[in-house]
Structure 1
Amino acid sequence: MDLLQRAFYGKDIRIALLEKREQAYEDFFCTLMQKKYSDNFLPVKAAGREGDRKADGYLFPEKRVYQVYAPSSGFKKDKLLSKITGDFEGAKEKWQSEMLGWTFVHSDFEGLPPYAIEQISKLKTSNRNIDIRVMGPEIIHNIAMSLSLESLIDMFGLMPSEKQLADLTHEPIKTLLKAMSRQTGCSSAIVPVSVDKLEFNDLSDDVAALLMAGRKKEKLVEDLLRKWPDPEYGDDLASAFNAYYLDMRSEGVVADQIFNKLQKFAGSDPASTNSQVSSLAVLTYFFERCDIFENPPKDWSK
């Protein structure tokens, strides 16, 4: 797996962790753990009166129970505290000596709120014979990135390689540009961006790596738009990207999700690595030259 493939997979894993909730998040977590630990990890499904015995997954070598919590409406104090305490105490009662470790898996990239951390600390103090841990999406992301290329392909499909990007020519981009719907709107000023733009917009390292890679081919896009039969087509596309970005920003969509949606808007097809590298070149071109994401203020510093 080369660096470009790694960035694509890293981005898609992060998007999955941002977008999946409830059962979908639990299923995604369990699939990753099975890929990582093979038959040493098993999802726990409800069975009859026993239910799931307050567990969503079980890791045999460590005798560790995993409980996943990814509410679609976000954390609510009473529900979160009840979930932590109720599921731990229930698992301790039902698994007994078969539970030497317990992990609370959650979905918030910002981490657990202080009251939840305090509650887990109390559980650790009163249950020193059980190894209690917390696993958030950053840790899950790291587990996923440690999987083999074969496992990642099985879960997310084949991603473009650095060689495919290097071999990219005008023709696939031309095909993609022709397929994009012409949209009207106010022209967006084409200006260079600050080197701090990636950090200012809180884009992940994976997305930053993709944009840096895409710069190698953005001149192909520039050449095509300069020679395009309609001289206003580039401005129209810039306006379309800008309008779509502003809509998503106004809805509070997270930066990496905005990037992912913009890449699809640029014609990316998950089933085609050619369309993925072509759309990356197009997206990078407009990222660098128009108001897709925010330019930092002149006095801004990290």
Structure 2
Amino acid sequence: MHKSDFDEYFDRMFDTCNQTRFEDWFAELAHCAWGTDFETIKAGGQHGDKKSDGRHRPTETIYQCYAPESASTFSKNAVGKVNDSFPDVLSYWPKMKRWVLIHNNDGGIPTKLSDELEKLREEYPHIEIDTASRRFLKDELHDKLSMNQMLDVYPSARLNFRTVSMENVRPLLKRIIGEKSTAIGVLSFGEIPNEKKLDHNELSPDAKFDLNRAAPNIGIVDRFLENMSNPGNASIIQSEIQSKYLELRDFGYTADEILGGLLAFVRGPLEDPPNTAAAYVIIYYYFDACDIFENPPEDALC
């Protein structure tokens, strides 16, 4: 799963959310993107929400959401919504420098609302008055989120996030298991050319141990890839492992967690010792080839 996969979740939320749900979605996006610089304002007490659905403190910007169920309702009532905010919003937020109407009318604003906003700009020249919709929410908020924040904002995406079995690697796993003259055991060690890379990625001693004992068998991977009838298939395997590594890295996992995710990806559902040992051989092969994990900056390993 990549960040671009969440675009459909954004589109679905924008197209279906209205009223309070739209306000909550905007506030969650803003809070994730801006952190403590953003204050969510909720109705409470005699002053309600102080004519605000959120405040960006560094710029003294007040956000007001309006997301009715239909474009016709927006056209009919948007001017009233704006006039309901002014001038009361000024009494609640005397330091306000900018006021933004966040709305769900993707086609733009009607002319009567545009005219009303122009009147307000003339009446309050010291305040920047703007509107924002889909592009602002997408470019300035949604696209700024990390993968973990995406999953927090769109929890249903977790249901679609699965460990994908890499079927293209199954024959290679079988070849490694079958070709090893002796089983990969705790005493099977060879020279480890990328020890600095292991240290640079802050892999634990246990992780280094498992990778180190797989190293003597990476020649099996070389022979398998060289003998493939279609050379492009080797690139497919390389690309899939690289993509999985980048996906796990972008989620913010530790090096050991990334290694565990790659192991599950390559090994598949069979967690028996032969499959696990063979999976480590494949992972170390691409580790040594500099296709996965980060290289020490001072060394040109590849």
TM-score if structure 2 supplies the norm length? Answer: 0.50
Q: Under a length normalisation based on structure 1, what TM-score does the superposition of the two structures give?
A: 0.50
Which one has a bigger Cα radius of gyration?
2
